[in-house]
Amino acid sequence: MSRFIEIVEVGARDGLQNEKVVLEPADKIELVRRLDACGARRQEVVSFVNPKRVPQMAGAEEMIAELAGAPGRSRIGLVLNERGWDRAVAGQCDEANVVVCATDGFGIRNQGASSAEQIATLAAIAAKRQAEGGPPISLTISVAFGCPFDGEVSEDQVVAIAQEGAALGLAEIALADTIGVADPWTVRKRVEAVRKVIGDIPLRMHFHDTRNTGIANAYASVEAGVRILDASVGGLGGCPFAPAATGNIGTEDLVYMLERAGFETGLDLGKLIETAHWIGGKIDKAPVSGLSKAGPFPKPAE
């Protein structure tokens, strides 16, 4: 089994999406470039949503024009509907990450569409790509471990959506613990169940640390064979359903855990910690990641 774990940096998108301070596109572009310098090869950088609804994500066109097509870097745009897909294609995004909610309760409140309607949209987008071209498509199944409106989400619900996605010939499928409620035992079972139905399509996992289980869930995923994980520098981000809670698992915490155990990530821990403090200064909020507070171990040679 490979010792390389690919970390998809989502700080500029998921990380900033729930922050109170709304950054200018130029600052977000600088964040992405600083993360490039940390070694990030894949970054989710924009969300093709309505900037009137999500002002934190304004300037997607400007950003992607500046960022897409960089050699050896993949810039991912989040897509919630066909309009978003058209914007991703027009902007020449390197990848499109299409979200399908596992529950109707979350889907209708968050994207104005039921889970089934979102699957139909995904199929329409995949067909459009087949006919007209466009970037590779990832599917992210959100609220895959629990929903703030519908409560528990069953493995069957998640597996069914993954199976539909797999039939569409997608480049990657991801399970997202959007509100941070998963435990590592369930993660492991769900990873195994989904891998059975998606065959060779790579599985990515996306964890929030809302209830302090995010790093344990990442560990359980790797133990179950997952080799692609989302994380955000500094543990940026929050949860609109738990205002005091923390956000995505921190990139530097994940890198620390993995590299301490002999995995490779291609990321520079020291630079990540610097970047966590830099972006913390920009949004006026100290980073919450453990590494940004405690530093690496053993201490790097001076």
Catalytic site positions: 239
State the minimum distance, in angstroms, from the CB of residue 242 to its own copies. Answer: 4
Q: List the interface residues with its own copies, window 17-76 (CB under 8 A).
A: none
CA angle 56, 97, 5 (to 5 degrees): 105
Q: DSSP states of 226-267 as a string?
A: --EEEEBGGG----TTSTT---BPBHHHHHHHHHHTT-B---
293 binds its own copies (CB under 8 A): yes
Does position 103 bind its own copies by CB under 8 A? no
Burial of 194 (0-12, 13-18, 19+ CB in 10 A): buried
The residue within the footprint of its own copies, chosen from 56, 110, 140, 246 (CB under 8 A), is 246
Instruction: Report phi then psi at 44, rounded to 5.
Output: -85, 115
- The residue within the footprint of its own copies, chosen from 69, 82, 169, 185 (CB under 8 A), is 185
Q: How far is the CB of 6 from its own copies (least distance, A)?
A: 18
Name the residue nearer to its own copies (CB basis): 49 or 179: 179
Check if the beta carbon of residue 231 is closer than 8 Å to that of residue 176. Answer: no
Residue 199 C-beta: closest distance to its own copies, Å: 27
260 binds its own copies (CB under 8 A): yes
What are the residues whose beta carbons fall under 8 Å from the beta carbon of 33, sequence distance 6 or more? none
| Span of 25-33, 47-55, 78-86, 216-224 interacting with its own copies by CB under 8 A | 216-224
* Residues of span 121-140 touching its own copies by CB under 8 A: none
C-beta of 39 vs 295, nearer to its own copies = 295
When the beta carbons of 60 and 249 are compared against its own copies, the nearer one is 249
CA dihedral 122, 233, 60, 148 (to 10 degrees): 50
- As a whole number of angstroms, the distance between CA 277 and CA 226 comes to 29
